[in-house]
Amino acid sequence: MLKEYIDIGYIPEETDLVCEYQLETASGISFEEACSHLAGECSFGIWNDISLLSPKMAEKLKPHVFYIDKKKHTVRISYPQDLFEFCSVAQIIITVAGRMLDHKMMSRLKLHDITFPTDPLSELWGPKYGMGGIRELTGVYDRPLVSATVKPKVGLDPATHAKVAYNSFVGGCDLVKDDENLTDQKFNRFEKRAELTFKARDDAEEETGERRMYMCNITAPTCEEIIRRANFISNIGGHYVMIDTVPTGWSSLQTLRDVTEELGLVIHAHIMGHTAFTRLEEHGISLYLMTKLARLVGLDQLHIGTIDNRFHENTKELMALYDCCIMDRSKGNEKMHILPQNWDGIKAMFPVVSAGSGVSSIPELMNIFGKDVIMDCSIGMHSHPMGTSAGAKACRQAIDATLSGISLEEYGKNHAELQTALKNGI
């Protein structure tokens, strides 16, 4: 049966799910043998006697290894739709990237991308709001949105946390969020923090006349508690929730998406921790695929990194992630192991660039990403010598200068906050 999986030249059906892998075989194992075992493990299982299956069912569920490039260590496998519970991302991933990541026939195995057929995409929500809905909610249409994370990451009491958020808001920050490891600790209880920070948001909106959004981290020990916290945010006037995607898991994320459909909440996704299985170039699951899955399950906005920062992304990869967030149709990129994808009308997920977006880097980021991006400018805001509020003003001034085609140095001559930031290398 294993040899029958090799079917070079097979043309995938429109309903097939197609995966691209990169693999290195163990000593003494041929590339074709490894590919056959990969297809077998992702379907019937290679040790089981499939004689119990009817020939009709065996043929219906059989995967096809239809493309092999030994020089690039690349293989594409087409899986029949009936292998999957298409509304379950967890089941899809455990099928195509489960046992084989630890199989002794392969020293390395990387799942780079999946092309999802268009018909079952309707079974996955996609974002409720996405980029367009968030722009409508905030009333900001002609520039990047400005975001900040309350710092320090942990240790602040709820009142001080709310004060930092207020200073960010009044300075011009559209969105303020918790850090990924702030949930419901003794020094900063979830409900009290939310209540005080939403009060700070309301005060800032009254003072500035602009919409402001607080993204409270609802990551919790159980799915039930995540949902309870989402309901709490909705009941006290929130429009956003934040969730740590990797530790929370796909099933909990899909449950949250179902609940937010009724609650009308935007989901901000923090993806730190992904490098445990994305960082190695030759093993694990790609960050591109993680981003694609985040959009499929319905997260409205997602951190994708930033240019030349302290984490492990590069410019080409970030642009691919950006395109994955917003494009309606991808043609694919063979060099980057990206497959074609028709999103079939699923809304764009708003990309967030962060972790180093200081004031001086804003022109470069806007040159790369344009207006359709959320900039987390926490470093530039909170490290400003004149305080967080001045730091937020400097970020907005840098955006205004860039949109006007004026250098930051020139614009700073009449804007003290920006000039001070530049003089201090922020």
Domains of the chain: 2-123 (3.30.70.150), 130-423 (3.20.20.110)
Q: 3-class secondary structure for the chain?
A: CHHHHECCCCCCCCCCEEEEEEEEECCCCCHHHHHHHHHHHCCCCCCCCHHHCCHHHHHHHCCEEEEEECCCCEEEEEECHHHCCCCCHHHHHHHHCCHHHHCCCEEEEEEEEEECCCHHHHHCCCCCCHHHHHHHHHCCCCCCEEEEECCCCCCCCHHHHHHHHHHHHHHCCCEEECCCCCCCECCECHHHHHHHHHHHHHHHHHHHCCCCEEEEECCCCCHHHHHHHHHHHHHCCCCEEEEEHHHHCHHHHHHHHHHHHHHCCEEEEECCCCHHHHCCCCCEECHHHHHHHHHHHCCCEEEEECCCCCCCCCHHHHHHHHHHHHCCEECCEHHHCECCEECCCCCCCEEEECCCCCHHHHHHHHHHHCCCCEEECHHHHHCCCCCHHHHHHHHHHHHHHHHHCCCHHHHHCCCHHHHHHHHCCC
What tokens were used for 217?
């981290």
From first to last of its 426 residues, what are the pLDDT tens digits of the chain?
556 789 999 999 999 999 999 999 999 999 999 998 898 888 876 555 566 778 888 888 899 999 999 999 999 999 999 999 878 999 999 999 987 777 778 889 999 999 999 876 666 779 999 999 999 999 999 999 999 999 999 999 999 999 999 999 999 999 999 999 999 999 999 999 999 999 999 999 999 999 999 999 999 999 999 999 999 999 999 999 999 999 999 999 999 999 999 999 999 999 888 877 888 888 899 999 999 999 999 999 999 987 665 444 578 889 999 999 999 999 999 999 999 999 989 999 999 997 565 899 999 899 999 999 999 999 889 999 999 999 999 999 999 999 999 999 999 999 999 999 999 988
Q: What is the pLDDT of residue 13?
A: 94
Active-site residue identified among 64, 177, 270, 274? 270
pLDDT of residue 45: 66
Q: Cα 343–73–289 angle (5° rounding)?
A: 25
pLDDT at 59: 84
Q: Looking at residue 312, what is its pLDDT?
A: 47
Per the residue annotation, which of 64, 110, 128, 151 is the catalytic one?
151
Q: What is the pLDDT of residue 50?
A: 61
Cβ atoms of residues 225 and 209 within 8 Å: no
Residue 89 near residue 120 (C-beta atoms within 8 A):
no
CB-CB neighbours of 32 under 10 Å? 18
Is 270 in the active site? yes
| Residue-level pLDDT at 123 | 67
Whole-angstrom distance, CA of residue 169 vs CA of residue 306: 22
Give CA–CA dist 37/28, Å, rounded: 14
Respond yes or no: is residue 151 known to be catalytic.
Answer: yes
Residue 271 has what pLDDT? Answer: 86
Assign residue 386 a region (left: φ > 0; alpha: ψ between -120 and 50; beta: otherwise): alpha
Neighbours of 187 (CB within 10 A): 11
Q: State whether the Cα torsion 138-381-165-262 is positive or negative.
A: positive
